[in-house]
């Protein structure tokens, strides 16, 4: 959809997306993306992103002047159709198009936006350097330092759980610029070129067999002052823009994926006859669980729809959405593993370009725990909801 073209009607737009999906989504992508090398995964992800970009579907949530401009209603339709037609997930560019873009649009300079937003559309990959070994959910406790030296900063420290860091061109980095300030007041936010001297990226082998997460070691890494986002020592406030994207708008797509993919796969699993010829769905207890999941998915859709339609969401609304989604995902994948069992698949492998709704239940369940930890654990989300949403008093001695 051209940025200057008039918006199509809802029905026309759905027909356009549906027609495109039927023509462009490779029907064999799950088979061809299972067991592939990292290089092939990267190639496929970039090629698929290019297909979406050419159609105008890659960044529908961006402003029109930067290549987006879809209404919330159109975005819902787009993600419904992509999920219904089992399109590959944009796993590799996820941080780029959501976290990096949201941060630049909200707090970046005009030069930073002009430099990076078009590059992201051309395939520039970003990772996120927030968490550290001693600062996971408590980001205010980070120890990585950035010392001002004229028109540059010298950065030293370590980051952990950086998704896709070994393939990233740039990194969203938090570092402490004032070691004497209170924890949240001495942090600055930077854009780090991952080709800079002094960076060592080490993949972390996960329980699922993948190495999506990485450690990043920073040894006298130089970052130009022009690559700082927002004022010095105000990085905590900028980081809330990044985390808001992770807890909020990204859920629009993920909700449809969970409904069509996760719940759809679950229905198929429960309708499949077992070795004795019986179907799990014929068990009243299982049918009851499926009905409950369907209700919860519909509730999530309404919750997300209400959230993205608001011009000024409440201070805890994004946390409510993130908590609801992540725990529902985990519960559904747990149930799929319980019903499907370890013998549901001959090999514990899933397509790298799928999410945690691939129907390889054991890996989906293990991977689903990822969503209750990054971007603030479920415990952190409940604290935010209690304090910012409900106005409950902060626990004495708490953060």
Measured between alpha carbons, how far is 353 from 331 in angstroms, rounded to an integer? 22
Q: How far is CA 124 from the centre of its chain?
A: 16
- As a dihedral over the C-alpha atoms of residue 97, residue 103, residue 106, residue 111, rounded to 10 degrees, the angle is -90
Query: What Å distances lie between residue 162 and 200, 202, 270, 300, CA to CA?
Result: 12, 10, 36, 28
Cα atoms found within 13 Å of the Cα of residue 375, Cβ hemisphere only: 26
Which residue is catalytic, options 132, 246, 269, 370?
Answer: 246
Three-state secondary-structure class, residue 293:
helix
Measured between alpha carbons, how far is 109 from 113 in angstroms, rounded to an integer? 6
Measured between alpha carbons, how far is 81 from 70 in angstroms, rounded to an integer? 15
Backbone angles phi, psi at 312, to 5 degrees: -135, 85
Planar angle of CA 374, 330, 18, nearest 5 degrees:
90
**Which distant-in-sequence residues (6+ apart) come within 8 Å of 191 by Cβ?**
112, 116, 170, 171, 172, 173, 223, 227, 228, 229
Question: Which structure tokens are listed for 287?
Answer: 């049918």
Can 246 be counted among the known catalytic residues?
yes
Cα atoms found within 13 Å of the Cα of residue 85, Cβ hemisphere only: 20
Measured between alpha carbons, how far is 292 from 229 in angstroms, rounded to an integer? 44
Q: Is the dihedral of CA 386, 387, 388, 390 positive or negative?
A: positive
Neighbours of 4 (CB within 10 A): 7
Measured between alpha carbons, how far is 107 from 327 in angstroms, rounded to an integer? 31
Q: Which are the catalytic amino acids?
A: 246
């Amino acid at each position: 959809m051209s940025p200057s073209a008039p918006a199509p009607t809802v029905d026309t737009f759905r027909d356009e997306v549906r027609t495109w999906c039927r023509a462009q989504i490779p029907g064999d992508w799950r088979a061809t993306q299972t067991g592939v090398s990292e290089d092939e995964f990267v190639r496929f992800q970039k090629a698929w992103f290019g297909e979406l970009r050419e159609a105008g579907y890659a960044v529908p949530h961006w402003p029109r002047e930067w290549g987006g401009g879809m209404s919330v209603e159109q975005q819902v339709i787009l993600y419904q159709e992509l999920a219904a037609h089992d399109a590959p997930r944009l796993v590799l560019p996820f941080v780029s198009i959501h976290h990096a873009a949201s941060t630049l649009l909200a707090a970046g300079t005009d030069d930073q936006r002009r430099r990076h937003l078009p590059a992201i559309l051309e395939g520039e990959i970003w990772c996120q350097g927030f968490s550290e070994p001693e600062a996971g959910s408590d980001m205010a406790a980070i120890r990585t330092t950035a010392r001002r030296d004229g028109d540059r900063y010298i950065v030293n420290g370590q980051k952990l759980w950086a998704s896709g860091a070994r393939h990233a061109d740039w990194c969203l980095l938090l570092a402490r610029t004032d070691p004497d300030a209170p924890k949240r007041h001495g942090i600055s936010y930077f854009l780090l070129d991952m080709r800079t001297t002094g960076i060592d990226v080490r993949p972390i082998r996960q329980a699922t067999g993948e190495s999506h997460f990485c450690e990043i070691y920073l040894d006298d890494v130089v970052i130009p002052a022009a690559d700082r986002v927002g004022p010095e020592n105000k990085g905590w406030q900028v980081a809330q823009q990044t985390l808001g994207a992770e807890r909020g708008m990204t859920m629009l797509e993920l909700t449809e994926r969970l409904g069509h993919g996760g719940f759809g796969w679950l229905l198929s699993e429960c309708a499949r006859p077992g070795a004795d010829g019986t179907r799990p769905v014929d068990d009243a207890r299982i049918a009851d669980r499926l009905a409950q999941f369907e209700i919860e998915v519909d509730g999530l859709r309404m919750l997300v729809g209400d959230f993205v339609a608001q011009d000024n969401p409440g201070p805890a609304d994004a946390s409510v959405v993130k908590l609801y989604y992540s725990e529902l995902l985990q519960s559904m994948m747990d149930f799929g593993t319980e019903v499907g069992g370890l013998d549901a698949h001959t090999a514990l492998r899933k397509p790298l370009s799928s999410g945690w709704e691939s129907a390889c239940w054991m890996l989906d369940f293990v991977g689903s725990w990822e969503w209750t930890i990054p971007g603030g654990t479920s415990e952190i989300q409940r604290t935010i909801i209690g304090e910012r949403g409900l106005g409950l008093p902060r626990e004495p001695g708490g953060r």
